[in-house]
Amino acid sequence: MRFAPLLRTAALVTALALLPATTAGLAAVDARGAPEFGKLMAIYQRIQANYVDQVDNDKLLRGAIDGMLASLDPHSAYLDATAFESLRTQTEGSYGGLGLSVTMEDGVVKVIAPTRGTPADKAGVKAGDFITHIDGKLIYGGTLDEAVERMRGAPGTAIGLTIYRPGRDEPFDVKVTRAIIDLQPVSYTVDGKVGVITVSSFSANVGREVEKALAGIRKDVGGAPQGIVIDMRSNPGGLLDEAVAMSDLFLDSGQIVSQRGRFARDNESYMARNGDIARGVPIVVLIDAGSASASEIVAGALQDHHRALVMGQRSFGKGSVQTLLPLTRDSALKLTTARYYTPSGRSVQEGGIEPDIAVPQISDPDARLRAERAIRESDLRGHLINELDMDDRDLERDKIDDPRFQISPEELEKRGIKDFQLHYAIDTLRNTRLAQTMTRPAGAKPASQRR
């Protein structure tokens, strides 16, 4: 239910097999050269001696840890046994809940994206919504962990959420029935000769499942499809390895993504191997403000190599890598250790991926207002700064203006179009001349490196 970070799979596996840290080991920090540690101890002692109620030591220690990590960036965190297990199941198995990716700023729970087909998605919860109450009880001012814990529960039980949606005058209530969220992040459909592959998250084996989806599309259309839509809207990310594996499926050569950190050990470049499984078939990638992290790696790689036309809305802008650093057998630090860059050297941090054709979701009456108030990485308190110091207004400019965006919602309803962005992507691929002029075969050189 939490916002999925971009994680290194190897770090996750390593952290699951660690020996417990000893008390002596945890106490090995030498505070003699750091007066600040003396201040911290003095504050602790005064709280214990003078606070109106007796305070549990564990509560004070957890507060100090959470405060340190919160001062760094929104994605660094301490994972206790419960949070650690939750992260593992969200990347490797299934879990009980609503199917929401959420974050918190200034005590308010914000929806990054609902996972497709989950109870939250079916109930109409949308990216950009604010959850103010759970079962009628205000949740403002608590922690994200507390809010997530209250949203969890036995499958089949109902929970009431009070939603504030920007653009609406009044909050409204929705009832959501909890369910087991099985991680089936890849699905596909066929529209005529065009295949649509939907990737809702980057959990384990996504690359392999996308390959199977393309094989299914070929079977259904009786050969090579006319085009492929890769729909990663509201995909909050996940495992770095799977983003690389999926990108590699459609590229013959060249860099997929690079990461640069404070130390040389954190610098790495991921390269594509020979073999585009789509064999040059035109591709459109759909993204929106809920597309983050791993989905931005895939969109950026295919865009820079001119292998795909990117459509939709500017993505979330989470261009950082989190590594799990062990503390004990069942706890760890999730710490930001690097920024990642697209093949042309663009930092995704803050700015996100800008589509080649910005396509509004005009079939959704709330979409325009949500797009104007969309929550992105740059809106989160304490976010990492883009090293290029890019102006956010520049990132909103469309590259291509298309008159078909003037269709009214009423006209779309008459024509039976429920998802305008997807309809537009499929229609573009049917116009193969446009699709082929906007893309180049796999292996084509990306844009010049920017420094």
Give me the catalytic one of 76, 86, 101, 293.
293
CB of 336 closer than 8 Å to CB of 72: yes
CB of 231 closer than 8 Å to CB of 199: yes
End-to-end CA distance of the chain: 37
Q: Which residue intervals of 51-192 are DSSP H helices?
A: 57-70, 81-92, 119-122, 144-151
pLDDT at 438: 53
Same domain, 295 and 420: yes
Mean pLDDT over each residue of the chain, to the nearest integer:
80
- pTM > 0.95: no
Q: Is residue 296 part of a domain?
A: yes
Average pLDDT over residues 194-213: 94
Catalytic residue status for 293:
yes
pLDDT at 243: 96
Distances (CA, A) of 324 to 13, 14, 25, 292, 380: 9, 9, 18, 19, 22
Same domain, 233 and 174: no
Q: Is residue 57 part of a domain?
A: no
pLDDT digits (tens, 9 = 90+) for 259-291: 999 989 889 999 999 999 999 999 999 999 889
Between CA 132 and CA 129 the distance in angstroms is: 10
Q: What is the CATH classification number for the domain harbouring 116?
A: 2.30.42.10
Same domain, 355 and 416: yes
Catalytic residue status for 30:
no
* DSSP H or E run through 220: helix 206-221
Note down the domain range covering 214.
Answer: 186-438
Give me the catalytic one of 304, 315, 347, 363.
304
Residue with the bigger pLDDT between 299 and 68: it is 299
Same domain, 166 and 278: no
Q: What is the DSSP string of 297-361?
A: HHHHHHHHTTSSEEEES------EEEEEEEEETTEEEEEEEEEEE-TTS-B-TTT-PPPSEE---
∠ CA 201-207-210 to the nearest 5 degrees? 85
Same domain, 142 and 255: no
Q: Does residue 311 have a pLDDT over 70?
A: yes
pLDDT digits (tens, 9 = 90+) for 234-267: 898 888 999 999 999 999 999 999 999 998 988 9
Q: Is residue 29 part of a domain?
A: no
Distance of CA 252 to the CA centre of its chain: 26
Same domain, 373 and 421: yes
Tell me the β-bridge partners of 95: 181
Same domain, 243 and 119: no
Between CA 288 and CA 311 the distance in angstroms is: 8
Residue 451's identity, in one-letter code, is R
Same domain, 225 and 171: no
Q: What is the DSSP string of 42-62?
A: HHHHHHHHHSSS---HHHHHH
Q: Which of 135, 164, 182 is the last residue of a domain?
A: 182
Same domain, 406 and 262: yes
Read off the pLDDT band of 6 (50, 70, 90): low
**Count of domains in the chain?**
2
Catalytic residue status for 331:
no
Same domain, 150 and 292: no
Q: Is residue 268 part of a domain?
A: yes
Distances (CA, A) of 219 to 76, 189, 215, 225, 320: 44, 12, 6, 10, 38
Q: Is residue 73 part of a domain?
A: no
Give me the catalytic one of 295, 318, 320, 378.
318
Give, to the nearest 10 degrees, the angle between helix 240-249 and helix 206-221. Answer: 30
Q: What is the CATH classification number for the domain harbouring 223?
A: 3.90.226.10
Read off the pLDDT band of 14 (50, 70, 90): very low
Q: Tokens in use for 66?
A: 């959470």
pLDDT at 47: 92
